[in-house]
Amino acid sequence: MEKLLNEFSLGLFVWQSLLFILLLLLLRKFAWKPILNAVNEREEGIKNALAEADKARQEMQNINADNERILKEARAERDTMLKEARDIKNSMIEEAKEEAKAQANKLVEQARTTIQNEKLAAITELKNQVAELSINIAEKVVKEELSNKDKQLKLVDQMLDEVKLN
């Protein structure tokens, strides 16, 4: 170190200082400014990327919330549609049952009417046959009565035996 102090030259020191300052100015102008600008741009790019990422994350959350809301609405609509379909099905079944019941009642009533009409026709026919038989018996009785009373009774008994009512 002493050697350095002994060989110290003020002119050399000034030139070296001047060259050092000039080197610092040149580095500042041509190296540090572009490097600092690149670092600042990179920092801004990272900040922007983080902001975009936050924005995208927020949008994804909003989209997920919207999807959940839409899904809930779709499920509610589906449940409503299923309930309406069940109600329609039940009402259709109920209407079909009522219609079938009405038709069955109508058929039963028609059958009763038919039976009643046939019964009346059978009774009428039976009455006609009884009346005809009665007239025949009366006719024969009157003919026989004129001839013999014993024969008349025998004839009435015989005719009654011939006629069998079901």
Q: What is the pLDDT of residues 58-116, one digit of tens each?
A: 999 999 999 999 999 999 999 999 999 999 999 999 999 999 999 999 999 999 999 99
51, 58 Cβ separation under 8 angstroms: no
What per-residue string of b and e applies to 24-58 under the rule 16 or more CB within 10 Å gives b? eeeeeeeeeeeeeeeeeeeeeeeeeeeeeeeeeee
- Report the amino acid identity of residue 98: E
Q: How would residue 166 be classed by pLDDT, with cut points 50, 70 and 90?
A: very low
Better-scored residue on pLDDT, 161 or 22? 22
Predicted TM-score of the model (pTM): 0.41
